[in-house]
A and B are shown apart, each in its own frame.
Chain A
């Protein structure tokens, strides 16, 4: 299975400051159709996961533009330009290129 490694696992951030989460895969996530099926999810405390970004950098409807995704191949990043209180939670990357789909361990974002 493809291993997804996130760092850091814990990310204390000051309100209004930027935050960055890294996600690395053990194999390239470029699929035969040239798409890269790398997805980011947010899970707020007590809630279900919510898809934020798909195919590396496509933001879902309703997701604030302070969230952005980037990367290629095996190296990906989720950035929050200015952290707000509602951004507290755990963030997961997931690959859907190789079978079976696999998730990163999660990065817990908290306010300092």
Chain B
């Protein structure tokens, strides 16, 4: 059974940093691209970033480029998202999802507020 479990969310001040993790199980993690998608409170889904299976290719939404960094550790079956220079508009639930969006985690809430 495929499982994706996000962690690392919390309350952070504007300009601060946070590191998110997504632990994967039930499939050959290193074979698949992985995505981060976010959802602001009461709003819709927004794609954030993706990374290929061996971690050599990464892509970002324009709104987070230069501030967020996606990475992965295939030995630990874990996906990461480092969030820097956080702004109020980054407040959202952050989901990790598999390559074809067929499996999603439950999400982790990031709140940016002073």
Binding site for B on A (CB under 8 A): 39, 41, 43, 48-51, 54, 60, 90, 92, 94, 96, 99-106
Contacts and interface: CB of A to CB of B under 8 A. Distances in A.
A47 to B, nearest CB: 8
Contact of A106 (B37, B44, B61): B44
A92 B45 contact: yes
For chain B, which range describes its interface: under 10, 10 to 19, 20 to 34, or 35 or more residues?
10 to 19
Contacts of A92: 44-45
B106 interface: yes
B54 to A, nearest CB: 20
B65 to A, nearest CB: 11
Contact of B101 (A43, A94, A106): A94
A103 B47 contact: yes
A54 B97 CA distance: 15
A93 to B, nearest CB: 10
Nearest to B98: A51
